[in-house]
Amino acid sequence: MDDRTRTEIEAAAFRALRAHLLEARPEVQNIDLMTLAGFCRNCLSRWMGEAAAERGVTLSKEEARELFYGMPYAAWVAAHQTEADGAKQAAFREAFAANVAPKGG
């Protein structure tokens, strides 16, 4: 397989993952994704920002989130995010420290 085809396939898989998380399963909370999988929608938007930076494109945190979510992050939160109890917040902090904080997130 050539590099261009591989990149196109990877991009299509990313778009499918994004659609699944945003359209098919918006009720799944970021806090639960982070706790169970070690990443969440915000990580994906951060990775987009990091990929942009590697290519010399400036993309702020908020711009990357809006690009990923397809709307301002505050609008996504208002439409889909629910309150997390203390146990979920503690599990999130542990997952964040293990998966994001060491990488400078």
- 65, 68, 17, 51 alpha-carbon torsion, rounded to 10°: -80
pLDDT of residue 102: 66
Domains and CATH numbers, the chain: 28-103 (1.10.3340.10)
Cα–Cα distance between 67 and 46 in angstroms, integer?
11
Provide the pLDDT for residue 8: 98
Would you state the pLDDT for residue 105? 46
Instruction: Calculate Rg over the CA atoms of the chain.
Output: 15
**Which of 15-24, 28-37, 87-96 is least confident?**
87-96
Among candidate residues 12, 68, 7, 11, the one with its CA nearest the CA of residue 40: 68
End-to-end CA distance of the chain: 34
Q: Region 79-102: what's the mean pLDDT? A: 89
Per the listing, tokens 């169970």 go with 36
Predicted pLDDT at 58: 95
pTM: 0.85
Model pLDDT for residues 38-72, shown as the tens digit of each residue: 999 999 999 999 999 999 999 999 999 999 999 99
How many CB atoms lie under 10 A from the CB of residue 95?
21
Give the chain's mean pLDDT: 93
